[in-house]
Structure formats: C-alpha cells, structure tokens
Amino acid sequence: MKPISLSLFIGYGHGPRGWDHPRMRDHYDWRQPELYQDLAQVCERGIFEMFIFADVLAIPTSYLNSPDVAIKFGLEGICHDPVPLVAMIAAKTTHIGVAATLSTTYYPPFMLARLLTSLDHLTRGRIGWNVVTSSNQASARNFGQNRLPLHDERYDIADEYMELCERLWESWAKDAVLEPQGDVIFADPTKVHPIHFEGKHFRCEGPLNAVPSPQGRPVIIQAGASDRGRDFAARHADVVICSKNTIEDMKAFHDDVKQRAVKHGRKEEECQIIFTFNAMMIGATGEIVRKKQSDLELISNSLLEAGLVKISRTVGHDVSAYPLDEPLPAFDETDLQTGRSLLLKYYSMGRTPTLRQVAANEVIKENFPVRGTYEQVAERLIRVMEQVGGDGYAVRANYLSDSLAGYVVEFVDHVVPILQREGYARTSYPPGTLRERLKAGRS
C-alpha cells in the first residue's frame, strides 16, 4: 500500500481558539504567529504534507438572527485573514505545504492569481489554495449583496473563475524569463501573452504581471460534498477534503469523485482524496482515553449552543426553533442553498440523529471515530484506508482547540512512528515542490 498522506486542517481558520484556557494563554497569543509556526514545525517532524487553513468572511447571524452567540463563544466567523499567516509559517518551515482558503465568489480572480503566484515564489513551491464558493449568507452583506448567489450558480461562477486563473497562470511561458547573459534582456516578450478573457461573469485582458512560479499554479484543494460540489472537485482539484461519519459514506464518496474525475478526462490518481478526523481521543492507555472522552462529553454538552450556531450557519436556517431531541426536519431542496454536505453527513443511509446529537458532534467536530491507544489509533487509520481506498487524512482542529498544540504533538510523537514502522507513512520528504511530492505519493 502507498504511504498515507497526512495533513493538518485548521477548520476554524485563524481565529480565537483556546483564548481563555491557561495551557494556551500562558504560552500563546492566538493573534500572533508563534502557535501556528510551532505546530507547522511539529507537523514537519511527522512528515505532514500540508497545513491547511479554512476562512470565513463574516460572523454568522443565522442563529437567532444575531451574531451575539458566535461573538460570545469566539466561534468561526471571528477570523483573521489566513494569507499573511501562511507566509509567516512558510518562513519558519522548509518542506510542509501551506494552504489558505479564498472565495471564488468574492475574491477578484486577477488579484488571487497574482497573490498565489507571489506566495508560491516565497514558499519555494509549497503553496495551496483551498477553493470555496462561500456559504455564509452574512458574507454577502459584507460585500454589498443581499444574498449569496444560488448554490449551483456559485459553482458555475467558480468554474469560470478557475478557467480565468488557469489562463492567467499560463500567460507566461515557462521559459519566458531569460537566464542572465550579460545583456539587458529580462524576458522574451514573444512568450508573454494577453489572454483576452471574456466570460459570463468575468473579463480580463492579462497577462499576469507576475512571473511563472515554481509550481506554475498552486495545488488546488476543495471540499465540495453536494452533487455540484463533487463535480467541481473532480474537474479541478488536486486534493479533495472529505468529512464523513461512516466508512460506507467515505467509500461511496471516494468512488464517486474518482469516477467523476475520469469522466472529466483525468486519471484517478490526479485527484487525491483525504478524510478528516479528530485526534483528541488518543492516549498511552485505555484509562487515559476514557478520561479524555468523559471530559470531552461534558465540554461538548456545555457548549451545545455553539454547535447550534454552527448548524444554523451551515444550513442557512435558524435551528433554535426545532426540538433538540428530534431529528432536523427535511428542508426544501430548492430553499437549501447551503449546508447540503452537513445534512448528507448526518442523515444519509437511514440515520436519524437528534438535533442535540448533531450539535454536540459539531462542537467536537468528530467524523468517523478514531479513539484509543496509540497502537489502536494507528491500526484504525490503516484499516479504514485499506477499506476505503483513499489517499490520506487531515487531522482536524475544532472548537475545543485549547488542546490543539497538545494533541497534535501527541499524534506526531506517538502515532506517526507506528505508521512509519509499519510502512504506512513517509519517513522523509521527497524532493521537489508540493505538487511534485503529491504526485510522488500517488505512484
């Protein structure tokens, strides 16, 4: 079996997690880069492929028609721009890829193409772009709109956006910039071309005013789980992030996206699929793990309202009106412009969890359970990957990330060596850019 790819996914972005916990407060200020720089260095020790940051463009207001609860708990939506942080992480690391989330609905495509090209140079070919179309209705109002474009329309816009960015990244030939020869010629103008792009949503003359970067374009990451999102991912993404609650769901998602990639003229191995999991419930002994589980259940129940905020933002409906101990009702598909992936994750294949259960799980952000001693966790990760056929995992941070630094270090120092010993994880980085390393991992 090929090595299992490992990444770290900060699902809340650069936000205030652990701000009130002594273990974090006494060592780190979440507004400063040191926590994430140190984490990236730990992940490099574990030969992690990427460090991926989510991002949100507004404080959510779907729950109780107010941002107050999100502000009260410091939830996602209170989020600093991840791009400067990504650059600072890259300056303190050597190998690990770094990826930021940028929205195709609200970020101008020329600016994005130029920004990521610049970052790819500064990181020596280690930059990734987590492509989102935005799903928070509050984001629209921050950009002068009453509502987001409809769900599938956002993906139509994103398809054209990707085409434009690709054209910009290709507007300079790879050999356009000349090697110094003692003359005054920097680049060959016959190898730099305007693109004259005119689409339904965007127009751009080009060319890009940044020279070709080590990767040519960033590694494209995507996490669409709806039918339209899967098709977009299969067409464009180098890496697809998936959050599912059962092995059956994971297998179905994996096979579906791989088949779609082939229909788009790609090879299956060109579209890598990684599954998120929570690494908080691990320990040297079963007794330690049981204590962590008990503590976590108490915390998740005390932060139940935080989970309701998350659900409301994701589905675009205020769920405060629904009974906690009954399943969420079926939403009109035409009215549900966001949140399809969340509903599929919890309510597919006949499952009917209560709203309380969904909210508690959203606080923990645990997908398929990975709990146990170090040996048990390593065995679980290996067996799931063998059954599903995926390419790797992303260790996911969540609302309870006061312990983020602790459990990432614990996973890297105690679980990764077992995976390496059994031949399921790399022991060193291959040479080359992030894209070249991903390609090497698929062969």
User: How far apart are alpha carbons 356 and 21 in whole angstroms?
Assistant: 25
Q: How far is CA 442 from CA 255, 271, 385, 392, 435, in A?
A: 16, 9, 14, 11, 11
Would you state the pLDDT for residue 297?
79
Strands (E), 23-148: 50-53, 97-103, 127-132
116: closest CA among 135, 134, 130, 132? 130
Within a 13 Å sphere around the CA of 261, how many CA atoms are in the beta-carbon half?
21
Q: How far is CA 357 from CA 137, 280, 307, 309, 325, in A?
A: 25, 19, 10, 14, 8
User: How far apart are alpha carbons 89 and 432 in whole angstroms?
Assistant: 19
SS3 240: strand
Whose structure tokens read 């600093």?
Answer: 80
Q: How far is CA 144 from CA 106, 141, 442, in A?
A: 11, 5, 43
Judge whether 198 and 190 are in contact, CB under 8 Å.
no
Compute mean pLDDT per 10 residues along the chain, 443 residues long, and list them: 90 76 73 93 97 94 91 86 97 98 98 98 98 92 93 96 98 93 88 98 98 97 92 97 91 96 96 92 94 82 83 86 89 59 74 87 79 96 94 81 72 97 95 94 57
Q: What CATH number should be reported for the domain whose range is 5-288+366-442?
A: 3.20.20.30
Whose structure tokens read 């409906």?
Answer: 317
Strands (E), 227-281: 239-242, 272-277
CA 47 to chain CA mean position, Å: 18
243-368-103 Cα angle (round to 5): 15
Cβ count near 150 (within 10 Å): 11
Residue 51, exposed/middle/buried by CB under 10 A (0-12, 13-18, 19+)? buried
Domain segments of the chain as ranges: 5-288+366-442
Q: Report which residue type is found at 357.
A: Q
Whose structure tokens read 């769901």?
Answer: 249
Residue 207, exposed/middle/buried by CB under 10 A (0-12, 13-18, 19+)? middle
Name the DSSP class of 160.
H
Would you state the pLDDT for residue 21?
63
User: How far apart are alpha carbons 159 and 177 in whole angstroms?
Assistant: 30
